[in-house]
Amino acid sequence: MSLPPNQPKITHRTANPPPGGAGATAHSSRFGGAPKRNLPLILGGAALLAGAYYMYGAGGDTKVAKESAERDATSASARLKEELPGGGKEGTASAEETLARIGSQVDKTVQEGKHRISEASQKLEGKVEEAKRPVLGTIDEMDKKIEKEASKAKSGISSWFGFGK
């Protein structure tokens, strides 16, 4: 059976496929494992199994089970720290070397900063002196002019009373 040429072919695909490709759901992908909402349940189950393991090994005594779990956690932590890069004795030595290098860099930066501040302070003092000279010269000129005018005014007032020239 053939279709007329003006009718579109019908397919079984949906118009808007879900994100993540065909077959994806809102909760998980096909190979992604458990959905995120089940993570607390899985973690709780793992903690319960770990507690049961230590309780069974201790014969039901909670104090012995707690001590055994703490001992295992401490040893696992120590092994993990040694296996990490920079762990163990060489990690302490490299940390001390790193701190010494950082300390010298900080000292160098502080010295450079102090040097720059002293240079800027000297430049600023030079600029202040340069700016002060014309201002002080102008003030001296104005002071002389005022004294001259004041002496003229004084002689003029004194002459009114017969004390002047």
Q: How far apart are CA 27 and CA 34, in angstroms?
A: 8
Query: Tokens standing for 38?
Result: 């089940």
Query: Tokens standing for 52?
Result: 């049961």
* Confidence band, pLDDT 50/70/90 cuts, at residue 110: very high
Q: Which of the pair, 9 or 79, is modelled with greater confidence?
A: 79
Q: How far apart are CA 1 and CA 9, in angstroms?
A: 13
Q: What is the mean pLDDT of residues 110-138?
A: 89
- Supply the pLDDT for residue 109: 92
Q: What is the mean pLDDT of residues 122-127?
A: 89
- Supply the pLDDT for residue 154: 77
- Supply the pLDDT for residue 32: 58
128, 133, 134, 137 alpha-carbon torsion, rounded to 10°: 150
- Supply the pLDDT for residue 11: 59
Q: Which of the pair, 113 or 84, is modelled with greater confidence?
A: 113
Q: How far apart are CA 46 and CA 40, in angstroms?
A: 10
Q: Where are the domains of the chain?
A: 40-84
